[in-house]
Structure 1
Amino acid sequence: MYSSIMGCVYCFAWIGDEQYLRPDPMYGGAMSRFGLVGIILIAGVSASSAADLMRPAPAVPTAFDWTGAYVGLHLGYGWGDSDFVDSEYNGAPPYFPVVNWSVDSDGWLGGAQAGYNFQHGAAVFGVEGEIGYLNLRGTKVQPGLDPYGFPYDGYGKVRGGWYGAISARLGYALDRTLIYVKGGAVYSGAKLGFLDTCTEDPCGNTTISISKKVEWGYLLGAGVEHAWTDNLTAKIEYAYMDFGRSTIHGLGYVGGWNAVPFNIRSDLSVHSVRLGINYKF
């Protein structure tokens, strides 16, 4: 349109230099040079406007849509804390003191996840299932001396295992970046154990080796996920798992306390950081 108008300006300058005033056959007068220039300008602008209408409109980018199913893998690191309570001193009479101690554990974790998201405006709702292996390892002896003056020789143990979880997710989408929180139930075959091999009086040659799966707990987490392409996303996530308190039951065998029941209270909570990648269908 700019070139058309400039062309008309040059036309106006040329007309200004020419002697073009001619008698009008109808009115017997002279045509105004400004009238002729106006006609030329209108014709140029009309042609330019028609060209603009025929030119295709530029494409408008659309926001990323998080709706849909996805599958992926995750890998990370976890660290746990467990509290053990021996209130029976390996089955001895109740005048023995209660012993409390903590066992730290840590290890890698990894697994797979799958889920589905629904997006409404900037809000994203979803459900996600995951399964993996939590490779926790930790052992610590009971602290202090027993009433006989011997160091305690009972150990609290933490050993990892497979886990599975189902969680609801709630997020806020900033186009290709999703900030989310999650919460749900988790089940694990990780074990809490107690080991004591006694070779001194009064227990004699007695071994206590008992353990229990942590089983059900709850999971809470938060993370950031980014869509690098329309199908490939990556995330970093923090997740906390708490399996509550349980009692490890078992029997001593061999020696003076053979077949004596033992009960050790214990718990497990786990912090973890995961990196994950998802394929969105």
Structure 2
Amino acid sequence: MLTKTALGMALVGALSAPVLAGGLTEPLPEAPVAAPVAPVVVGTDWTGAYIGGQLGYGDVNATGLDGDGVTYGLRGGYDWDFGNWVLGVGADYDWTDIDLGGAGDTLDSVARLKLRAGADLGRALVYGTAGAAHAKADVGGSSLSDTGWFAGVGADYLITDQWTVGAEVLTHQFDDFDNSGVDVDATTASVNVGFRF
């Protein structure tokens, strides 16, 4: 009989052990697992005015007048940032050192009024540009000037929040330059440094 009682008590103890294993306190809820956070890319706002300087190279082709040389000048404008796209207006002026191959024949300067539209890639702005160009030249002892058009591509990169570096390649066309009967085309490639306000 003692054996049956001992066996019964052992069975009750074995069955109740899992119930008492956690103690009398309630189990704590599991801490929530934080979801991984995707990196946030902070967009760059290209809205605002800018000024700067540029240095480049120009190649001029016309009937009997061809030459190439250094260009250097000033630039400025204003951009509006619409999220992924940027629209802007600007102007620049280049002095040139381009000998056109004749005795004293030179291209003296090129001024441009510009429109540009491009993609906001964060710290980089890649754009197309076009507009009106006005060139002055000395040919055959006469001072000539004419207005034509230009188009090209460029890119600016923010090295700080206000300072930029960039590059631009433009093609220019002047038909019947100053009623001379000569069509002039020119290509310029330049690098620039700018300050944004």
Q: TM-score, normalised by structure 2?
A: 0.78
Q: Note closer, same or farther for the CA distance 1:117–1:65 as it changes in structure 2 (3 Å cut).
A: same
1:37-186 alignment runs, 5 A limit: 39-42=26-29, 45=30, 60-83=40-63, 102-140=64-102, 158-186=105-133
Matched residues in 1 for 2:175 and 2:24: separation? 90
Check whether the contact 1:214–1:268 (CA below 8 A) recurs between aligned residues.
Answer: no
The count of residues paired between Structure 1 and Structure 2 equals 179
Residue type at the aligned position of 2:171: Y
- Choose from 144, 153, 166 the match for 1:213: 144
Q: TM-score, normalised by structure 1?
A: 0.57
Residue type at the aligned position of 2:189: V
The alignment partner of 1:32 has SS state of helix
1:265 Cα offset (Å): 3.1
Identity in percent: 25
1:247 Cα offset (Å): 5.8
1:122 Cα offset (Å): 0.9
- Choose from 189, 192, 196 the match for 1:273: 189
Matched residues in 2 for 1:131 and 1:225: separation? 18
Matched residues in 1 for 2:78 and 2:190: separation? 19
Matched residues in 2 for 1:109 and 1:137: separation? 12
The alignment partner of 2:177 has SS state of strand
Q: Max radius of gyration: which structure? A: 1
Check whether the contact 1:168–1:183 (CA below 8 A) recurs between aligned residues.
Answer: yes
Unpaired runs of 5+ residues, structure 1, are 1-28, 84-101, 141-154, 195-209, 249-263
Check whether the contact 1:79–1:107 (CA below 8 A) recurs between aligned residues.
Answer: yes
Q: Show the counterpart of 1:92.
A: none
Matched residues in 1 for 2:101 and 2:38: separation? 65
Q: Note closer, same or farther for the CA distance 1:37–1:132 as it changes in structure 2 (3 Å cut).
A: farther
State the superposition RMSD in angstroms: 2.8
